[in-house]
Amino acid sequence: MYKLLSHNDLDGVGCGILAKLSFGEQVKVRYNSISGLNREVEWFLENEGKETFLFITDLSVSEENEKRLEEFFQAGGKVKLIDHHKTALRYNDYKWGHVVVEGEEGKLTSATSLLYEYLISHQLMEPSDATAEFVELVRQYDTWEWEKNENHHAQRLNALFFLLSIDQFEEKMISRLQTSDHFYFDEFETKILDMEENKIDRYIRRKRRELVQTEVGGLFAGVVYAESYHSELGNELGKENPHLDYIAILNIGGKRMGFRTIHDHIDVSDVATQFGGGGHAKASGCTLTEDAYKQFAIDTYHLEPLPEDAKRNRYNVKESTFGTMYKNRSDEIYLIYPLENGEWGIEKNKTITEQTHPSFEEAEKFLKRKYSVWLVNDDNFVRNLMEEVKKAK
Ligand SMILES: [Mn+2]
């Protein structure tokens, strides 16, 4: 007999699907939240004998269970923990640990892709095109590589996962992978996925207007409250606000928070670790502890959301040689303009400020962080110029 304890997200359930394809009736699969896993491990160690081979995928156990698993293994128990989170690398010290963050040629791994390789190399599963394609979609979604590759099938697979119950998703995927030569979405799925995409777009547009910014531990965070679509939301808000180091997404009801960054120089698994969580460099999470609740929720509650930059300007555009105009909630007007030496200067309410910046982006980052400014629209920009002309006469 086999038992698989896995995460309850797409990558975790991908592992369950592979296990069921390999072992059929011989495997029991249980999906867990990050915090629910330890109870399951304890239950297994207390109630199931050494005849059952235990797989743990896409999740980490507590230190105590780490010790118990080692004792179980030393006493002849069969266990394998397969994971790709950086914060789990220490399990490689054990014979039963298999943690790989980056595969060959720097290709990021996922739990599903690692389990697939494991099952094939141990001749527990026959490789197939359809399964390999499914595994690759899960990997690209989980590592967010799909975005760079514009592989929207990966994003759609995750959307489908959330539209169905885990049981329905498992059943559909298992029968598809068993019976088709290639992975595909059927006509009905394609239709509901189109509808879902529109819904996500509207959700993100609404959430954009709720973003506040704050400084925590020397880094700038955008804070937003949301229960769903964390990855899509974190990615969109991050791209629209490159002056922020990361986006913190709070789920108060679930007492959880997630961190997302688009920047290579920021590692949000470090941020999550500070609050007792973990994860990847670009995506991580933790329990919403009282300390995190205070810093991200209470201390930011009084803040006004960050207005968005004007979108369809023709005149007041970024990096303009005539200068680019910004404003903040105290009605202060800022202008970023190029200097002769190639640097960029800032005028505050028509007065030149001393500090200069090596690039336009740096100047804008400075203003957005320090003064919470936004790019004014053309109407505002032109009105301002006309007032200047009047004054000059
Ligand atoms: Mn994963």
Rounded distance from Cα 280 to ligand 1 centre (Å):
9
Whether residues 61 and 143 share a domain: the answer is: yes
Whether residues 54 and 135 share a domain: the answer is: yes
Rounded distance from Cα 83 to ligand 1 centre (Å):
7
Question: What pLDDT, in 10s, does the model give residues 248-261?
Answer: 999 999 999 999 99
Rounded distance from Cα 315 to ligand 1 centre (Å):
45
Rounded distance from Cα 10 to ligand 1 centre (Å):
8
Rounded distance from Cα 54 to ligand 1 centre (Å):
18
Whether residues 120 and 36 share a domain: the answer is: yes
Rounded distance from Cα 275 to ligand 1 centre (Å):
20
CATH number where 285 lies = 3.10.310.30
Structural domain including 349 reads: 324-392
Whether residues 272 and 343 share a domain: the answer is: no
Q: How far apart are CA 60 and CA 269, in angstroms?
A: 14
pTM of the model: 0.78
Rounded distance from Cα 146 to ligand 1 centre (Å):
14
Rounded distance from Cα 381 to ligand 1 centre (Å):
47
Residue 122 lies in a domain: yes
Q: How far apart are CA 291 and CA 303, in angstroms?
A: 19
Whether residues 278 and 354 share a domain: the answer is: no
* β-sheet bridge partners, residue 374: 327
CATH number where 92 lies = 3.90.1640.30
Rounded distance from Cα 333 to ligand 1 centre (Å):
46
DSSP tag of 108 = B
**How many structural domains are present in the chain?**
3
Residue 307 lies in a domain: no
Whether residues 77 and 169 share a domain: the answer is: yes
Whether residues 29 and 134 share a domain: the answer is: yes
Residue 26 lies in a domain: yes
Residue 319 lies in a domain: no
Predicted local confidence at residue 201, as pLDDT: 93
Whether residues 291 and 328 share a domain: the answer is: no
The last residue of one of the domains, among 185, 216, 248, is 185
Q: Are 172 and 178 in contact (CB under 8 A)?
A: no
Please give the average pLDDT of every successive group of 10 residues along the chain, which has 393 residues. 97 98 97 92 92 96 96 97 94 97 91 98 97 98 88 94 96 97 96 94 95 96 95 94 98 96 96 92 93 97 95 96 96 96 96 96 97 97 90 80
Rounded distance from Cα 369 to ligand 1 centre (Å):
33
Q: How far apart are CA 90 and CA 96, in angstroms?
A: 11
Q: Could you count the other beta carbons within 10 Å of the beta carbon of residue 98?
A: 19
The last residue of one of the domains, among 150, 185, 220, is 185
